[in-house]
Structure 1
Amino acid sequence: MKILVLGATGATGRLIVGKAVAKGYTVVALVRSKAKAADLAGAELVEGDARDTAALTSAIAGCDAVVSSLGTAISPFRKVTLLSTATRALVGIMAQQNIRRLVCITGLGAGDSRGHGGFFYDRLFLPLMLRTVYEDKDRQEDAIRASTLDWIIIRPTVLNDKPARGGIKALTDLSGVHGGTIARADVADFVVQQVTADMWLRKAPLITW
């Protein structure tokens, strides 16, 4: 199994790379700077921008699946387009190359998970600090859903850096969900499992402790 990881130098992306390598997968990481990704042990590094079709085409060659853990900085006032632009380019190239499986991380507050983050998150933090980011996550999810790929969208609750503890809950019925937290390590485990599992195919589970 050969997989391409986007967002591999982020805090969660690094864990995904490590767990995929440990599982015996061949991992390609598309990174902006090879120098800043030199510690991604076991991964083949391809330098380029995830929005650039030439870079994506080069990185994805020979891959069986793609994991996107792309993220973007908080941008309260400036429009965010990175996630949707990169994803639109990606799904087009995957279709051309007949690469079927896409596992993509978005987050609590995207799509129909909006309104399930708890009072502070829903009423203050998301609209004031994350509005433009989540508008782009919505566009990103829309691009994936419009594709013919075998996709899984994963929406973690608030991320923390605690050790993995397993036993996470994966939910599509969000009745009674009002926030939550989960370790990046548990997210990475779940993501790598979805590269070959079909339980959540074409679904968008929220994952939490």
Structure 2
Amino acid sequence: MKLAIFGASGATGRHLVNQALSSGHYITAMVRTLDSLQINNVGLKLIVGELSNSVIVESVIRDADAVISVLGARKGKAQKICTDGTSKIISAMQNVGVKRLIALSAYGASETHNASLFIRFVRSIISEKMRDKDDMEDLVRASNTDWTLIRPPMLTNGDASNNYRSGIDLRPGITARISRAGLASFILQTVVSGSYIHEAAIVFKE
């Protein structure tokens, strides 16, 4: 498959790029600088630019079979990165005629905001980031794309594992975790299988 990836230089994005390349997929990724993603592979094309530049965003997406956004706020940066970035991505997808979108969100966003006392506590600590996820989900759901939202709980480091649960009605407990490598594996599997279209998938380690 030809994949367009946004957020490729982030912690989850790097795992996603490496796993996709290892599986024989072709990737076009937008990066701020060429040295932000030092992966040498003939299947990877890097395009330098900003999400505010619609021409560049369209060039990343054009001819892709699917678009994957693993955007996330970096420490000290503005917290509307997911909402603003996703808005640009969806607009570009409409302009170039690409339909499939997978967007990384978080458990606790939107209708899961009141899932437990722990989730309410987490939202009170990172309220700005979670509101960004809420608004991003609203944009995705309102789009005419074949979208999937991915909602992991707390992320950890560690190896990839297929030993995880996924579904749309799960209620992860306070100890629920998934590694970033495992999350990347699930995202890639979701893209390839075409599952969870117009659904928000919750995923965590068994």
User: How does the TM-score come out when normalised to structure 2?
Assistant: 0.91
Structure 1 partner of 2:87: 88
Partner of 1:6: 6
In 2, the alpha carbon distance for the partners of 1:137 and 1:14 equals 21
Alignment equivalent of 2:181, drawn from 181, 185, 195: 185
Deviation (angstroms), 1:6: 0.3
5+ long unaligned stretches in structure 2 = none
Question: What's the secondary structure of 1:165's corresponding residue?
Answer: coil
Q: Which residue does 1:170 correspond to in 2?
A: 166
Contact 1:117 1:177 in 2 (8 A): no
Deviations 1:154-184 (A, max 9, x none): 011101112223221112113x533310111
Distance 1:91 1:117 in 2: 31
Deviations 1:73-119 (A, max 9, x none): 356xx862221111111111112211111011111211122234652
Change in CA separation of 1:13 and 1:40 when aligned onto 2, cut-off 3 Å: farther
Percentage of identical aligned residues: 29
Deviates more, 1:25-34 or 1:49-58: 49-58
The amino acid that maps onto 2:104 is: I
Q: Distance in 2 between matches of 1:153 and 1:40?
A: 29
**Counterpart-to-counterpart distance in 1, 2:40 and 2:153:** 25
Matched, 1:127 2:128: no
2: CA distance between counterparts of 1:117 and 1:2? 39
SS in 2 for 1:204: strand
| Residues 119-167 of structure 1: per-residue CA shift (max 9 Å, x gap) | 2x532x3312x11111111111111100111111001110111222322
Q: So what's the TM-score if we normalise by structure 1?
A: 0.89
**Cα distance in 2, alignment partners of residues 208 and 118 from structure 1:** 19
CA contact (8 A) 1:3 1:67 kept: yes
In the alignment, which residue of structure 2 is the partner of 1:105?
A: 104
Q: 1:199 aligns with which of 195, 203, 206?
A: 195
Unaligned runs of 5+ in 1: none
SS of the residue 2:181 aligns to: helix
Amino acid at match of 1:177: P
Aligned pairs, how many?
A: 203
